Structures are given as C-alpha cells and as structure tokens.
Amino acid sequence: MSSTPPLLRCPVCRGPLNGSDNPGAARGALACGSGHSFDAARQGYYNLLVGKGTVFEADTPDMVAARFNFLEAGHYRPLAEAVAGTIARLVPPRGKFTVLDSGTGTGQYLRAVLDEVRRATDNCTAVALDISKFALRRAARLNPEALCLACDVWQPLPVADA
C-alpha cells in the first residue's frame, strides 16, 4: 500500500484521516484525531464502510473473477487506452497529480491510467474506491502503489474537497 495521501477524510466525522504515524493509530491503520480507526486488511485495502451498510450489493468473488477475465481478454482495451490517454494529457509538467478511481472494480482501468500517467510524472498519488472487498483485493494486487479503500461511493467520499 502506498503512503497515505493527506487528502483523506474520516467517513464518520470528516476529520483528516492519517496513516500509522498518527498517535493512537495501530500500525497499518488509518485514524483521525477523534479516534476513529480503520485497519489495513492483509489483502491490501482499508475498509471504511461504516454505519448500517448500503442497499447496494457488492460484487461477489465470481463476479469479480468474470469481470477480470473479460477485461484481461482485451474486450475494452481501446476504451481503457482512450481513458488513460485523456487523463495523461491533464498531468501538469511538474508537480503532484492525484488519480481517484471511484468504483475501481478490479483496478484494470486504474492500471492503464497509472501506466500512462507515469510516463509524464513520477509524482502521482492513486486512490481506488469500491464497495466490494473482493474487487479491492484484485485492484490492490494490480495497483500496489494505490491506496485502496472500501467505501460506499453513494455516500460522501472519504476525500477532501479539491
């Protein structure tokens, strides 16, 4: 997992969410100043789902595997390349660039974007959001430099306003 970008917000209180350097946070945890803490799963993501849950069904392992195999076969590769090329053109010549993939799924589109963006800058932060822990496991393996977060994208996102 990558280092925690300063742009994260606690899904409970909206305070800044920091990495394990935060006093009171367990090693490998994200925590806010109010004491809300979110542990890192060994599969490479943080679970920021809070409250009663959601009415939406998260993808199952079989659904994730089928989507991964379909995308790996190249069926949407032209679309992924077009998205990646468009985003790469937005990268400033110098400076920091952040990619937020809301609904990242298996992370294959994010991988295409990061591969293209890395040609322009090595100062890029990636955040991948999805409600499915099974999808995030795939996304984290495919994008180890990304911060992968389980959250409901129909709720306020766990990121600061731009």
Tell me what pLDDT residue 1 has.
47
84-112 pLDDT per residue, tens? 999 999 888 777 888 999 999 999 999 99
Question: Do residues 127 and 101 make contact, with C-beta atoms less than 8 angstroms apart?
Answer: yes
16-64 pLDDT per residue, tens? 998 744 444 445 889 999 999 999 999 999 999 987 766 677 889 999 9
Domain locations in the chain?
43-150
The pLDDT of 143-150, averaged and rounded, is 94
53-73 pLDDT per residue, tens? 666 778 899 999 999 999 999
Tell me what pLDDT residue 54 has.
67
> H/E/C letters for each residue in 85-137?
HHHHCCCCCCCCEEEEEECCCCCHHHHHHHHHHCCCCCCEEEEEEECCHHHHH
Edge-to-edge strand order for the sheet containing 45-47? 45-47, 147-150, 124-130, 97-102
**84 φ/ψ angles, rounded to the nearest 5 degrees:** -60, -45
Class of the CATH domain delimited by 43-150: alpha beta
pLDDT-based confidence at residue 5 (cuts at 50, 70, 90)? very low
The beta strand positions in 79-160, using DSSP E, are 97-102, 124-130, 147-150
